[in-house]
Amino acid sequence: MVPGPEPIAPAATKGSAIQMAAEVYDVVVIGGGAAGLSAAVTLGRARRSVVVVDAGEPRNAPAAGVHGFLTRDGMSPADLVRVGRSEVASYGGVLRDGQVVSAERDGTRFTVRTDDGQAVHGRRILVATGLLDELPDVPGLRERWGKDVVHCPYCHGFEVRDRVIGVLGSGPMAMHQVQLFRQWSPRIVLFRNDVVQPSDQEWEELAARGITVVDGVVESVRIEGDAIVGLVLAGGRVIPVDAVAVQPYVSARADFLKGLDLTATTDPQGLGTFVAADERGLTSTPGVWVAGNVADFMAQVVSSAAAGVRTAATINADLVAEEVRLAVAAYRDPFSAASEARHAERLLGDRRHGLDQEQGRSGAGGPGPRA
């Protein structure tokens, strides 16, 4: 395992309630996984103020290690997050624990509220909350999920190589999945589970690759000790397997976005839901961006991290463009107090430098123009 920085001190991970309420960050990142933390590091290095709000519920928590991530292969999901949070803090980022329950536009900024009643404010929002995996209702699947019940061959196929792998029919990806896993093991069993109906061509492909097909409904997973030993069919027959591959239905963690007129979109193939965005990660709501699995449920950890970097750079460019426009407006009208107050409010919100108060003190009763 590649050693990472020392864990960050608690004082560096949370702001006080007063600080969090008063601060207007350049970017509020919702979700502290690979996409969110990578985005926060990129924004911190761009000298942006950024806060990461994370519920501490990583999708890959059951897995023993992350794979396919250069220099981080085999690192546990918990260690990856720990190192990532430390790197965010090293660039001045704020890390806040909490479940986001709502987000809304508040004039020229956004307000994000957490389940503990606190609020954070930002000029832009990046959503990187990931997905929820909804497994078929088969006893034993959830208990072994991320161990010897897997879904992605590129994430976990090598760990179950050469075993007897049962592919559980659960949706439209089953035929694709069964042929993929055949690359990792010659001993593949397709459980149709009253769901999969192969075409004539697919039957021929299964036979040509030596894949066994089992009819009947799977009722449970047989577990002995700390391992799967078989799948139990209706009627009690047990088919021996050492591992199970299954495609869960995936749901974007996006309910809190309703206040921003954003809802999750259903995938055309019926695989799950995601938050739609353009190739830059910008949603249909200006100022709100997405990165990682919440927008792309096929993304692995490394590609989610890359999406976070790419989207963060685009957000920074968007902020720069806004600041250029405001600077030009101020340059054209440099002595207008109203213009100054307007631009200060646009950029800083509650952090503005007190121009209104100064005007109040020098107004009535103050020295007037000389005759």
Summarize pLDDT for 126-151 with one digit per residue, the tens. Answer: 999 999 999 999 999 999 999 999 99
Question: 113: which strand partners?
Answer: 102, 119
Of 329-333, 335-339, 349-353, the range with the lowest mean pLDDT is 349-353
Query: Where along the chain do its domains lie?
Result: 10-133+249-323, 136-246
CATH fold of the domain at 10-133+249-323: FAD/NAD(P)-binding domain (3.50.50)
Higher pLDDT, 21 or 57: 57
Distance in angstroms (rounded) separating the CA atoms of residues 21 and 121: 7
Confidence check: pLDDT of 353 > 60? no
CB 227 within 8 A of CB 243: no
Measured CA distances, 371 to 335, 364, 368 (Å): 22, 18, 9
The DSSP code sequence of 55-117 is: -S--TTTTSS---S-TT-TT--HHHHHHHHHHHHHHTT-EEEE--EEEEEEETTEEEEEETTS
At which residue do the structure tokens 């292969």 appear?
Answer: 73
Summarize pLDDT for 122-131 with one digit per residue, the tens. Answer: 999 999 999 9
Instruction: Tell me the residue ranges of DSSP E strands in the chain.
Output: 24-30, 50-54, 94-97, 100-106, 109-114, 119-127, 131-134, 149-150, 165-168, 188-191, 212-214, 218-224, 227-233, 238-240, 243-246, 249-252, 265-266, 273-274, 288-290
The predicted pLDDT at position 350 comes to 58
pLDDT-derived band at 336 (thresholds 50, 70, 90) equals low
Pair type for strands 218-224 and 212-214: unpaired
In this structure, whether the domain defined by 136-246 belongs to CATH 3.90.1170.50 is answered with no
The predicted pLDDT at position 97 comes to 96
The predicted pLDDT at position 347 comes to 66
Amino acid found at 249? Y
DSSP state of 281: S
Instruction: Tell me the residue ranges of DSSP E strands in 100-175.
Output: 100-106, 109-114, 119-127, 131-134, 149-150, 165-168
**Residue 213: partners with Cβ closer than 8 Å, 6 or more residues away:** 189, 190, 192, 198, 206
Question: 85: which strand partners?
Answer: none
Distance in angstroms (rounded) separating the CA atoms of residues 165 and 153: 11
Summarize pLDDT for 153-208 with one digit per residue, the tens. Answer: 999 999 999 999 999 999 888 999 999 999 999 999 999 999 999 999 999 999 99
Pair type for strands 249-252 and 131-134: antiparallel
pLDDT-derived band at 23 (thresholds 50, 70, 90) equals confident
Summarize pLDDT for 88-111 with one digit per residue, the tens. Answer: 999 999 999 999 999 999 888 999
Is the full-model pTM beyond 0.75?
yes
Confidence check: pLDDT of 9 > 90? no
CATH fold match for the domains 10-133+249-323 and 136-246: yes
